[in-house]
Structure 1
Amino acid sequence: MLDPIIAFFQRIFSAIGRGVGLVVAWLLWPFLAAHGWYKDRNWLIKGPIILVLAVLVASYGWFFWRTQIWYGFDTQMVEKYDFAKRTVAAGEKLPDQPNACQNSAIATVAADLTDLNVNQNAWVSSTLLYKLGFFGIDWDNTPFFDNKASFQRGVNQVVRRVAIELADNLGRVRGTSGINSDLQEARGRIQYDEEAWYFGIHPLGFRSTTPATYRSAIRYWRQFNADLQQCKSVFDTRADNLMQLLDRAASDLGNTSDILRRRSEDYNAGWFDTRADDRFWFAYGQLYALRAILAATHADFQDVIRERNLQSLWMQTEEQVEAALRVQPAIISNGAEDGWIMPTHLATMGFYILRVRSNMVELRTVLDR
C-alpha cells in the first residue's frame, strides 16, 4: 500500500534534483566555457588575465573589509565626554580660570562624529567600487554592502544640520556680530557632495574627494573651539537659539519618519525588501548622532535648561534615543505590521523616532512660552 506513495515522493525529489542540477549547470556554464578557452591560451594572454583577476579579488576583499568592519561604533559614546562635570555653559568664563572660557560640546561632538565617519572608518559612499555598483546596479538596491554607507549618511545628516545652526546662530551674537569664519568654512565643507571621488563627470575633471573635504571641516570646528577656549570667539546660548536647534532637528526626524512610513506601508517583502536595510540604518545613524548632540546641547545650554526646568524632560528624551539604539537586528525585515513570521523593523524604528520627535517638540513648546 505504501509503494505508490513512496514512488510519488521519489518522483518529486528526483524532479527537484534535476531542477537544481540544471540551475547549477546554467550558473557554472560561463565559468566552464571560460576555463576551456583559457587553458588553450599562451602565457602572454594568461598573465594579464591572472593579474586582472588578482586585482579584482584584492579590491573586492578590501571593499568587503571596509564596508563590513565598523570601527569606533559605540552607542554609549557620550559617556567618554563626561559632560556632567561641566559647571558653566559654552562661551562662559571658567570659574577657576579667569582668562579661559568653556568650549562648545556641540562643536566637539560634530567634529568627533565626522572623525568617526572619515578617519576611523572609510567613507563608503564615495569609494570607487561602491559608486560602480553591483554589475551596474546601485548597491542601495541590493542587500549587500550598503548598511555602513547608509549609517554614515544618517550621521552626516545630523552633523550637517548642526553645522548650519553653529554658523548661522550659535557661533555669533545675532544682530551684533558677523558669522564666525571657521564655522562658516566648516558648514560649507560638510555640505559637500557625499559621493565625490578623485575624478567626476558632472562636471568633468579632477575634484576633491568627500573624505578630504570633511576632514577639513573637522579642523575648522576644532579651531573654533580653540578660539572659544581663549575667549576669542562667542557662543550664544539664548533660549531662542536652543528652540530653533530643536525645531530643525525635529523637522529632520519628521522627514525620516515619513520615509520609513511610506516604505513600510508600500512594501511588505519581509526579509526580501532590498531597500529596507538602508532605510533602517540611515534612521539609526541619525539617532546615533542625535544621542551625542543632545548630550552636548544639554552641556552647552545648561543654564537655559535649568532655568526653564527642562532637566527631566531632556533626560527622558535622551533615554528614548538610547532605547532606539538598542534595536540592532542582524537582518532587517520589512514585513506587514500584523505579520506573524517576518517582523517589521521599519515600523519599530519609525515608532521610536516619533517618540523622540514628540519629546523634542514638547521641549520646544516649553521654551516658546
Structure 2
Amino acid sequence: MLDPIVAFFERIFRAIGRALGLFVVWATWPFLAAHGWYRRRNWFIKLPVAAFVLLLACLYVYFIWQTQAWTGFNPNYIDSYKLADRKPAGQELPPVDASQATAAKVCEPSALVDVTANLIDFNVNENAWISSMVLFKLGFFGLDWDDTPFFDNKAAFQRGVNQAIRRTSVELVDSLGRVRGTSGINGDLQSARGNLQFDESSWYFGFRPFGPKTPTPDYYRAAATSLRKFNADLGKCNATFDSRADNLIEFIDRITNDLGSTSDVLAERSEKHNYGWFDMRADDRFWFAYGQLYGYYGILDAAGSDFSKVLAERNVGTLWADTMKQFQAALRIQPSIISNGREDGWIMPSHLATMGFYILRVRSNLVETRAVLGGR
C-alpha cells in the first residue's frame, strides 16, 4: 500500500534534483566558458584579466561587508542627546557667571538640526552609502538588487532615513529657519536643502549625462556641514529658529502626509503581492518604512525640545511623549527575514501589514497632536 506513496515522493525528489542540476549548470557555464577562454590566452592578456578579477573580488568583499554591517545602528540613538536638559532653540542663554555679563551672547542651538546633521553623518560617514556603490548599481547579472532578496535591505533603510532628512531640510528653509515674512532664506539651510535633493545613486562616472560626476555622499556631506554651520551661527545668536506653534503644526502636517504615503505603499504591496517569503520587493518596502520611522523618531523628539515652550503652553507634553512611545514600539520590529504573507495566513507572517499598522498608530498620534496644537 505504501509503494505508490514512496514512488510519488521519489518522483518529486528526482524532479527537484533535475531542477537544481539545471540551475547549477546555468549558473556555472559562464565561468567555465571564461576559464576555457582564459587558459588559451598568453600572459599579456592573462595578467590584466587576473588583476581585474582580483580587483572585482575585493570590491565584492567590500560591498558584501558594507551591506551587512550596520555601523552605529541604534533605535534608541536619541537618548544620547539628553534633550531634557536643552532649552528651546534660539533662546538666549544667561551667562555662566556674573563676570561674563559683557561677553558675547550665547543662544541654544537647535536639537532638530543637530539630529538631522548626525543622521546624514550616520548614513554616509559611519556607513557607506549603498545606493551609489558601483556594484549595487550593476545589480545581480543586470537585475536590480531591489528585485532580489539579497543585499538591498541597508540601501532601502538608508533611503528611508534620507527621506526624513530631505523633508526636514525643506521645512528648515521654508519656515523653521526664518521669521516668516520678515527675513530672507538662510544661505546655509538653502545650500543644505539643495545638496540633499541630489540624486541618491550617483557614482564617480555616469552615462546620463556621459562623463565624470560627483558621487552622492559628497553632496550629503556638504549638506551636513552647512547644517552644522547654521547651528553654530544660531549658537552665537546670529541666525534664526522660529519656534512658533504654527511652524510646528505645519511641520507635523508634512510628516503626517509623508507617513501616509508610505502607509499606502505598504498596504498596496501587502494586498496585491502577498507571496510570503517569495515577495522579492517586500524587504526593501519594509526597510524603507523602518528607516523613515528611524529618522523621524529622532527628528521629532528633537523638535519637541526645540518647541518645548509651545508644547508646555498648549499642554500637549503627555500626548507628545505618547507619540514617541509609538515610534519606539515600531522600531522594535526587526525581523531577520521579511515575509509578505496574507494577513489571515498562519504560516508566513505579514510583516508589511504589521509595519503599516504601526505607521498608522504613529500617524494617528501626530494628527491628534496637530489638532490640539491648532486648538481644534
TM-score normalised by the chain length of structure 2: 0.92
Instruction: Give the partner amino acid of 1:163.
Output: S
* Structure 1 partner of 2:185: 179
Q: TM-score, normalised by structure 1?
A: 0.94
**CA distance in structure 1 between the partners assigned to 2:139 and 2:305 by the alignment:** 42
How has the CA–CA distance of structure 1 residues 323 and 18 changed in structure 2, closer, same or farther, with 3 Å as cutoff? Answer: closer
Give structure 2 stretches of 5+ with no counterpart.
Answer: none
- Counterpart CA distance in 2 for 1:288 and 1:163 is 16
**Alignment-derived partner of residue 209 in structure 1:** 215
Q: Distance in 2 between matches of 1:158 and 1:192?
A: 15
Q: Which residue of 2 aligns with 1:128?
A: 134
The yes-or-no answer on 1:249 pairing with 2:259 is no
Code of the aligned partner of 2:250? Q
CA distance in 2, matches of 1:152, 1:22: 37
Question: Could you tell me which residue of structure 2 aligns to residue 94 of structure 1?
Answer: 93
Q: Aligned partners of 1:178 and 1:2: how far apart in 2?
A: 85
Secondary structure of the 1:200 match is strand
Cα distance change of structure 1 residues 230 and 15 upon mapping to structure 2, 3 Å threshold: closer
Query: The residue matched to 1:287 in structure 2 has which SS?
Result: helix
Alignment of 1:192-341 (within 5 A): 192-341=198-347
Deviations 1:282-325 (A, max 9, x none): 00001001110111001100000000000110000000000000
Return the offset for 1:337. Answer: 0.5
Count of matched residue positions in the alignment of Structure 1 and Structure 2:
368
- Alpha carbons of structure 1 residues 309 and 278: separation in structure 2 relative to 1, 3 Å: same
> Which deviates more, 324-333 or 135-144?
135-144
1:359 counterpart (351, 361, 365)? 365
> Which deviates more, 311-320 or 128-137?
128-137
Amino acid at match of 2:89: A
Q: Which residue of 1 aligns with 2:85?
A: 85
Q: What is the 5 A alignment of 1:16-55? A: 17=17, 20-21=20-21, 23-55=23-55
Q: Distance in 1 between matches of 2:26 and 2:266?
A: 38
For 2:149 and 2:211, locate their aligned partners in 1 and report how far apart those are by CA, in whole Å: 32
Q: Which runs of 5+ in 1 are unaligned?
A: none
- Residue 172 and residue 36 in structure 1: after superposition, are their counterparts in 2 closer, same or farther (change >3 A)? closer
Letter in structure 2 aligned against 1:204: F
Q: Which amino acid aligns with 2:67?
A: T
Find the counterpart in structure 1 of residue 66 from structure 2: 66
State the percentage of identical aligned residues: 61
C-alpha distance in 2 between matches for 1:323 and 1:219: 32
| Cα distance in 1 for residues equivalent to 2:352 and 2:126 | 28
How far the C-alpha of 1:206 sits from its partner, in A, is 2.4
Is 1:112 matched with 2:118? yes
* CA–CA separation in structure 1 for the residues paired with 2:280 and 2:3: 45
- Give the RMSD, CA atoms, in angstroms: 2.0
Q: 1:4 to 1:229 in 2, by over 3 A?
A: closer
Secondary structure of the corresponding residue to residue 298 of structure 1: helix
One-letter code aligned to 2:218: A
Return closer, same or farther for 1:312/1:59 CA change in 2, 3 Å cut-off.
same
Cα deviation, residue 42, structure 1:
3.9
- Aligned partner of residue 53 in structure 1, secondary structure: helix
